[in-house]
Amino acid sequence: MMAMTAWNRCAAASAACAAPAPAFGAARWWSSAGDAGGEGSGQRRGKCAEGRASPDDEPQLFIRQLQEAGEQGDLARVFDLVEGRGEDIDEEGVEVALAQVAHCSQLMKLVGDQLESEVHHKQTFQTLVDMAAHGAKRFSAPAKARIVSLLGGQLKWRDEVALDELGRSLMAGVQDLGPTHLSLLVGGLAAAGHSPGVLLLDAVRDRIRELGPSEVPAQQG
């Protein structure tokens, strides 16, 4: 495992070639079109039709319900929705659920022991983490970078096994990351105090060098 000083230097380099990371829980950041690095972050899906959802509409209805609960800061509702959906949650649902848990935690100002008791120790949260880690190969590289940032940065989750699995599965996908998602990945791992393998560090360094200053997204405002 590499020294954390090396990873922290990498974090600084990635931040230098990235726009400010989008705020979690705001503006549906999980379904944006990508950043200046050309990275896609998943397909947008249309909203459910009004009225009772068909089986094909149910995943999107679930997403909408999660978003509404998150906007209200209703953490219990988010967990209830996840429990009700159970093993039918797809990859988009897992990511959105984690994003809304993070957003609720921010609105509720959960830190330290409160964050642990209200989030970390909840079986539903641990199930979401397991879904993300054990099913990591099914997520896109940008989605995995966002999940690492959510877990390590926003939710202060320090599960070495989960972060290792997400990091290992990203090895072949680092080339698909643009500046913003590189910053999310490296920042999330650094915030968690997690030391990934040297191979991942080298891949991230190479990608940062490839992007260079010309890939810096234009600052807004």
Residue 115 burial (C-beta neighbours within 10 Å; 0-12, 13-18, 19+) = middle
Whether residue 24 is contained in a domain is answered as: no
Q: Which helix (H) or strand (E) holds 134?
A: helix 123-134
Inform me whether the pLDDT recorded for 156 exceeds 90.
yes
Whether residue 36 is contained in a domain is answered as: no
For helices 58-71 and 91-107, what crossing angle results, to 10°? Answer: 10
| pLDDT (mean) for 66-79 | 98
**Total length of the chain:** 221
Q: What pLDDT, on the 0 to 100 scale, is given for residue 139?
A: 95
Whether residue 88 is contained in a domain is answered as: yes
7-16, 32-41, 96-105, 190-199: least confidently modelled range: 32-41
Count of C-beta atoms within a 10 Å radius of residue 125: 21
Q: Are 136 and 111 in contact (CB under 8 A)?
A: no
* Tokens 């999330």, located at residue: 188
Percent of all residues in the chain with a pLDDT value above 90, rounded to a whole number: 57
Q: What pLDDT, on the 0 to 100 scale, is given for residue 211?
A: 86
Whether residue 35 is contained in a domain is answered as: no
Q: Are 142 and 41 in contact (CB under 8 A)?
A: yes
Q: Dig out the tokens for 162 from the structure.
A: 């989960």
- Domain of 112, in residue numbers: 4-18+56-213
Contacts of 151 by beta carbon, 8 Å cutoff, 6+ apart: 98, 129, 132, 157, 159, 162, 163, 166, 188, 192
Whether residue 38 is contained in a domain is answered as: no
Residue 30's nearest CA partner among 174, 119, 154 is 154
* Tokens 């090895």, located at residue: 171
Mean pLDDT across the chain: 79
Q: How confident is the model at residue 9 (pLDDT cuts 50, 70, 90)?
A: low
d(CA 38, CA 54): 34
201 or 130, which is more confident?
130
Whether residue 123 is contained in a domain is answered as: yes
Inform me whether the pLDDT recorded for 25 exceeds 80.
no
Inform me whether the pLDDT recorded for 177 exceeds 60.
yes
Q: What pLDDT, on the 0 to 100 scale, is given for residue 56?
A: 60
Percent of all residues in the chain with a pLDDT value above 70, rounded to a whole number: 71
pLDDT tens-digit readout, 178-209: 999 999 999 999 999 887 778 888 999 999 89
Whether residue 117 is contained in a domain is answered as: yes
Q: Are 67 and 96 in contact (CB under 8 A)?
A: yes
Whether residue 92 is contained in a domain is answered as: yes
Q: Dig out the tokens for 65 from the structure.
A: 């319900």
Q: What pLDDT, on the 0 to 100 scale, is given for residue 144?
A: 96
Q: How many domains does the chain have?
A: 1
pLDDT tens-digit readout, 37-64: 444 444 333 333 344 455 568 899 999 9
Q: Record the pTM.
A: 0.75
Phi, psi of 120 (to 5 degrees): -55, -40
